[in-house]
Chains A and B, each alone.
Chain A
């Protein structure tokens, strides 16, 4: 198995990185180009960029911003937000993205995943899933779809998605740890028995989710201090998680 990955996630609205709690109360936390460069430097295993409100309605401005972030990176780069057709994805890859993430458009028309995989290869296709209470929500978490997250993840994989990018709306931005029941359901594996629930620090939260997922997305606990990524990496190694030596 490849090594567990730590992936900072830049939620972008109107060209700025934002972060809220449970998808609400978004506040400005920085510039995507500066944060991207800082994370690449600090040893991130990958970077995710999601245009969360498809605020960059004009595709060209999104493509330009993606190109500027990509120019700062020496690590894999996943971009999502408003991808509706293969052409949208291709222009993001041309700008320097390595993978494209789809969400609402794939829920509306699941064939999109197969079309993207056929043209770009499964390794470039990520299906992002936002879920609350085990149910998938579309349109940046605003519309319930009636689908179970675990079932949609399986379908997306069968249709050609190389990876699933899972966000729990319930846990988003709370800094209280990952949604392990949701993650284990989507990963399709039994939930590991948790040890002491109290006094679990941030590194322990990340270690917990890396027992079931191949990667952990990080946002709230990092954006104020991207260099925290280096110390997090050492703490995880002390906990026995075999993260990459990023030097």
Chain B
């Protein structure tokens, strides 16, 4: 059975992500143990909250190294929301934070009419609507999908990052997570 491990670093809606994967019938667990993250078929870096404290937590558990090692070895890794932003080289949040450096680019504070940008929005290509809740976004050359001019999805090697919350995006989100489990 596909083994999904969700990184627990005190900055997550880990429970929602766990519930969403459990519905898909996979072996899923939340862990702060770097070794379990390394041996998973799919590792997930969820995240809401601030970049600075999130990076500190990732480092204190050695999860930063585990995630870099996975991507270096070509193992599937999914970053959600803050998880995508943390994968970049840096974020301008909290006065400047060094990221994991898995994906080229940086996170910047968005300039939408309303910040935080909250709600369902279309993602193209594809046109499906997913749920977003964020104040920062990725500026990256690895972008593979956009939503209202904002990077919605980025791929770099075996890392896939999404700015939206597939675990909160109803049937469309469930289908998205299912595709993450069986990359074409």
Closest to A71 in B: B19
A46 cross-chain contacts in B, Cβ below 8 A: 131
Q: Is the CB of A123 within 8 A of B135?
A: yes
B3 cross-chain contacts in A, Cβ below 8 A: none
CB of A162 closer than 8 Å to a CB of B = yes
Interface size class of B (residues with CB under 8 A): 20 to 34
CB of B113 closer than 8 Å to a CB of A = yes
The distance from the CB of A68 to the nearest CB of chain B, in whole angstroms, is 12
The stretch from A94-102, A127-135, A216-224, A228-236 touching chain B is: A94-102
- Which of B23, B49, B170 is the most central at the interface, judged by chain A CB atoms within 10 Å of its CB? B170
- Chain A contact residues: over half helix, strand or loop, or mixed? loop
Cα distance A18–B50 when bound, in Å?
Answer: 36
B19, B48, B113: the one within 8 Å of A70 (CB): B19
Q: Is the CB of B118 within 8 A of A162?
A: yes
CB of B2 closer than 8 Å to a CB of A = no
Q: Is the CB of A1 within 8 A of B168?
A: no
Binary interface encoding of chain A residues 78-95 relative to chain B, with 1 for a CB under 8 A from any of its CBs, else 0? 000000000000000111
Within 8 A of A (CB), among B49-78: 49-50
Q: Is the CB of B15 within 8 A of A2?
A: no
Q: Is the CB of A121 within 8 A of B49?
A: yes
A94, A120, A246: the one within 8 Å of B170 (CB): A246
A93 cross-chain contacts in B, Cβ below 8 A: 13
Within 8 A of B (CB), among A56-74: 70-71, 73-74
Q: How many residues of A contact B (CB 8 A)?
A: 34
Closest to A163 in B: B118
Q: Is the CB of B113 within 8 A of A123?
A: no
CB of B154 closer than 8 Å to a CB of A = no
Within 8 A of B (CB), among A192-247: 214-215, 244-247
Q: Is the CB of A74 within 8 A of B169?
A: yes
Q: Is the CB of A215 within 8 A of B20?
A: no
Given A98-B16, A121-B49, A2–B117 Cβ distance below 8 Å? yes
A162 cross-chain contacts in B, Cβ below 8 A: 116, 118, 133
CB of B105 closer than 8 Å to a CB of A = no
Q: How many A-B residue contacts, CB cutoff 8 Å?
A: 90
Within 8 A of A (CB), among B120-177: 120-122, 129, 131-135, 148, 165, 167-171, 173-174
CB of B96 closer than 8 Å to a CB of A = no
Cα distance A72–B167 when bound, in Å?
Answer: 12
Given A74-B23, A74-B169, A123-B116, A96–B132 Cβ distance below 8 Å? no
A76 cross-chain contacts in B, Cβ below 8 A: 131, 133, 165, 168
Binary interface encoding of chain A residues 1-44 relative to chain B, with 1 for a CB under 8 A from any of its CBs, else 0? 11101000000000000000000000000000000000010010
Binary interface encoding of chain A residues 88-128 relative to chain B, with 1 for a CB under 8 A from any of its CBs, else 0? 00000111101100000000000000000001111110000
B131 cross-chain contacts in A, Cβ below 8 A: 45-46, 75-76
A94, A121, A244, A246: the one within 8 Å of B15 (CB): A94
Cα distance A3–B171 when bound, in Å?
Answer: 17
The distance from the CB of B62 to the nearest CB of chain A, in whole angstroms, is 23
Given A3-B120, A123-B118, A74–B13 Cβ distance below 8 Å? no
B50, B119, B168, B169: the one within 8 Å of A2 (CB): B119
Between A and B, 11 residue pairs with Cβ closer than 8 Å are: A1-B113, A2-B117, A3-B120, A74-B174, A75-B168, A76-B131, A98-B16, A122-B116, A122-B135, A162-B118, A163-B118
